[in-house]
Amino acid sequence: MRGHIEEGQRMRKIAKTKVKRKFDKKLLFYIVLMAFPLAQFAVFYVGVNFQSLLMAFQQYDSFETHFYFGNDLLINFKRIGEEIGSLLVMLKNSVIVWFFASFVGTVIAVLFSYYIYKHKRLGIFFKFVLFIPSILPAVLMSSIFQNFVNNIVPVAFDSIRLMDMVETPLDVQFIVAVFYTIWIGFGTQVLLYTGAMEQISPSVIEAAELDGASPFREFWNVVLPSVLPTIGTFLVAGVAGAFLNQVNLFNFFGGSANWSVRTIGYHMFSMSQMKGGEVDYPFLSALGICCTVIAIVPTLLLRRYFAKFEE
């Protein structure tokens, strides 16, 4: 009896140790797994955004090379007021870019994805060709495109250069930049939407075909509702990033694009890249806060709208 008790105690001890060891290993694995992303989140999201918020109320001392709180904490927001004329033009440009990139671009991409999904003629070839720009470096693609519209198009069509900072009318510069942005993002969108369409159960499509649904009805009633959550995610992300979109202007013109064609995203980036750009960081932080305030309502509304389809 005593032996059984001792044996039982020994077994429990071993089991406890095993459990403890097992638990420790799991915990260690979990910590290792989560430490890096959490640290990254803490530093590059929480830390950066917190610093950015503080910076909106600071000024920069070029001699001591540090940021400080001056007497006027709202000085950067007042500067936004002083520059409101130019900023509104950039805001308008950002909204136009967002509209075309998000809505027009998405409509074309979804239709084209459906074409590829239905394995129509040359669908795979188009998919490959459209995706090439997404594989190549952005600077390289922009250079090729700029060379094409500045050197080939004028010779071929006896026109002016289409992307020259001086020669090209500003509205043409902007239209070409928007076109390029939609075109360059097209491949990624098509890949996403065809991927989403491939997830639709073949039996659903087959049932629709047996019911005699035309390709349009099949697209409208079966395919589109199935990929709406994907489209919704894309559109919501588009609103949230509307003020970050540079329309590739930095690739075309460096930091010198004309103010009339600038978007908020480009303006913020090019100002921060300018020599002595630190002096503008507080202003850019304040501008970033204002843009967040503007973007937050449409983002939440759009998110709420598309959440219905996810249910």
Q: For the CB of residue 169, give the shortest distance to other proteins in the complex, in Å.
A: 7
Window 235-264: residues binding other proteins (CB under 8 A): 254, 256, 258-260
Q: Which of 300, 283, 296, 249 is nearest to 87 (CA)?
A: 283
How many residues sit in the footprint of other proteins (CB under 8 A)?
A: 30
DSSP 43-85: IIIIIHHHHHHHHTT-EEETTTTEEE--S-TTHHHHHHHHTHH
70 binds other proteins (CB under 8 A): no
Q: For the CB of residue 94, give the shortest distance to other proteins in the complex, in Å.
A: 16
Query: Is the CB of 150 or the CB of 188 nearer to other proteins?
Result: 150
Interface pattern 123-142 for other proteins (x via CB under 8 A): --------------------
Of 105-113, 216-224, 238-246, 268-276, the window that binds other proteins (rule: CB under 8 A) is 268-276
Collect all residues with Cβ–Cβ distance below 8 Å to 255 and sequence separation of at least 6: 270, 273, 274
Window 83-102: residues binding other proteins (CB under 8 A): 83, 85-86, 89
What distances in angstroms separate CA 25 from CA 14, 36, 188, 227, 232, one per listed residue? 16, 18, 40, 41, 40
Q: How many beta carbons lie within 10 A of that of residue 247, not counting itself?
A: 28
Q: For the CB of residue 66, give the shortest distance to other proteins in the complex, in Å.
A: 8
DSSP, collapsed to helix, strand or coil, labels residue 268 as helix
Interface pattern 34-63 for other proteins (x via CB under 8 A): --------------------------xxxx
Q: What angle do CA 158, 163, 173 make, to 5 degrees?
A: 110
Query: Is the CB of 170 or the CB of 307 nearer to other proteins?
Result: 170
The answer to whether 239 touches 103, Cβ cutoff 8 Å, is: no
Of 22-30, 240-248, 277-285, 287-295, the window that binds other proteins (rule: CB under 8 A) is 277-285
The alpha carbon dihedral of 268, 274, 277, 279 has a sign of negative
Query: Is the CB of 63 or the CB of 157 nearer to other proteins?
Result: 63
Q: For the CB of residue 100, give the shortest distance to other proteins in the complex, in Å.
A: 22
Query: Is the CB of 282 or the CB of 288 nearer to other proteins?
Result: 282
- Given the structure tokens 């659903």, which residue do they identify? 204
What distances in angstroms separate CA 116 from CA 75, 110, 122, 193, 198, one per listed residue? 54, 10, 8, 10, 10
Residues 58 and 23: their CA atoms lie apart, in Å, by 48
Interface pattern 140-179 for other proteins (x via CB under 8 A): ----------x-------------xxxx-xx---------
- Hey, which bits of the chain come out as E strands? 59-61, 66-68
* Of positions 2, 4, 37, 65, contacts other proteins by CB under 8 A: 65
276 binds other proteins (CB under 8 A): yes
What is the rounded radius of gyration, in angstroms, for the C-alpha atoms of the chain? 27
Query: Is the CB of 89 or the CB of 294 nearer to other proteins?
Result: 89
**Pair of tokens at residue 45:** 């999201």
Query: Is the CB of 32 or the CB of 166 nearer to other proteins?
Result: 166
Q: Which residues bind other proteins (CB under 8 A)?
A: 60-66, 83, 85-86, 89, 150, 164-167, 169-170, 254, 256, 258-260, 274-280
